[in-house]
Structure 1
């Protein structure tokens, strides 16, 4: 039996493909040079761990003058990178809540970037509880963040169902006894929710 469903956000509810945005804006060749020179995803991990949003990005840009403009785009164009919403996943979130199933978020997201995203995506304010790494000071797949969720919600691990697009995040959840689904598209997730008796096929469309 499942007592709560937990959604990751990036690439589950909102597409998160920074490289795609950079390819469109500066071209694939310049993007490859940028990402080969600077680990922008590691920079983003600092933000997701609670570091300041703009300041972290702009400080990185100052250290790399050859790519200063492109690095600043991570902040300046951020909402353009965090799009579009994955509509079917949003419908599943709302269908679960309509059925009275508690729905949580467990997401690697910065404090300010999450607040910014909430101004563009109303469904990010619809969770029963949102566990945001920036506020928690730890990011997935560190087991501590899963433990913090368990302690906060008071639900036994085997009664939690979690979906995430990253295999390492799913592996840690399963190691803690959570039920988990590796997200590879909303239809597969819908099928899992139906199989577990949380939604009917009609509700999962």
Structure 2
């Protein structure tokens, strides 16, 4: 089933980012804790970690977790064993129950739903714990796809895999750059800022009857 949008347009597929949308943003939260423990600026460490996870190829599945942590230690001077540092990150990716209720509702309405995330094998580890992959028709993770959302051609690739016209795909992400690149490729896109704004945006762009009413008041 497609869902009508204002102006006679339709949506067939809804894709969600993981960290910062479907779950709390464990990457940033975890690195702020690591920064504090090492006497570093949180924003600067987050940026260094994000640059390093790309530079080492870890986020694209071409580099290892160990190479990432070693490179980040050399770059920033952080201390700690790999497993302890990673636990600070993974433990903070807490799924938002109300978001998964929304995913279930969309799928029940007949839309195709998926994850489109720039993640390492962290996403696989989280699925082993929370078992959320079965809720989705597709899981596109940069670690397995070999391409991230910084590369605008990814959005063409995903549309081809989905066999869906770009303007029939709705994408939700908390990163403004990812949202902008999706829009440049013809996708519909919503930037997640906070819960209430997001639910209002969803009511506007995907007017399914009572789509958000059953999740608006649920506990996070």
Which TM-score band applies after superposition, normalised by the shorter structure? 0.7 to 0.9
The structure 1 segments of at least 4 consecutive aligned residues displaced by more than 6 Å after TM superposition are none
How many angstroms does 1:11 deviate by?
0.2
How many angstroms does 1:6 deviate by?
0.8
SS of aligned partner of 1:27: helix
In 1: Cα distance, 2:136 partner to 2:87 partner? 27
Q: Which residue of 1 aligns with 2:78?
A: 67
In 2: Cα distance, 1:34 partner to 1:172 partner? 23
Equivalent pair of 2:35/2:42 in contact (CA under 8 Å): no
Equivalent pair of 1:57/1:75 in contact (CA under 8 Å): no
Q: Which residue of 2 aligns with 1:49?
A: 60
What TM-score do you get using the length of structure 1 for normalisation? 0.83
SS of aligned partner of 1:68: coil
Residue-by-residue CA offset, 1:91-118 (whole Å, 9 max, x unaligned): 21121112221101111011x2221111
State whether structure 2 residue 161 is matched by structure 1 residue 152. Answer: yes
Further displaced range: 37-46 or 181-190 = 37-46
In 2: Cα distance, 1:184 partner to 1:123 partner? 23
Equivalent pair of 1:48/1:109 in contact (CA under 8 Å): yes
State whether structure 2 residue 133 is matched by structure 1 residue 88. Answer: no
Instruction: Compare the two structures and name the one with the higher helix fraction.
Output: 1
Equivalent pair of 1:57/1:72 in contact (CA under 8 Å): no
SS of aligned partner of 2:196: helix
In 1: Cα distance, 2:89 partner to 2:215 partner? 31
Q: Which residue of 1 aligns with 2:4?
A: none
TM-align CA RMSD: 2.9
How many angstroms does 1:50 deviate by?
1.5
State whether structure 2 residue 117 is matched by structure 1 residue 107. Answer: yes
Query: What are the residue-to-residue correspondences of 1:184-199 with 2, within 5 Å?
Result: 184-195=193-204, 196-199=206-209
Q: Which runs of 5+ in 1 are unaligned?
A: none
Q: 1:29 to 1:56 in 2, by over 3 A?
A: closer
How many angstroms does 1:54 deviate by?
2.3
Aligned residues: 203
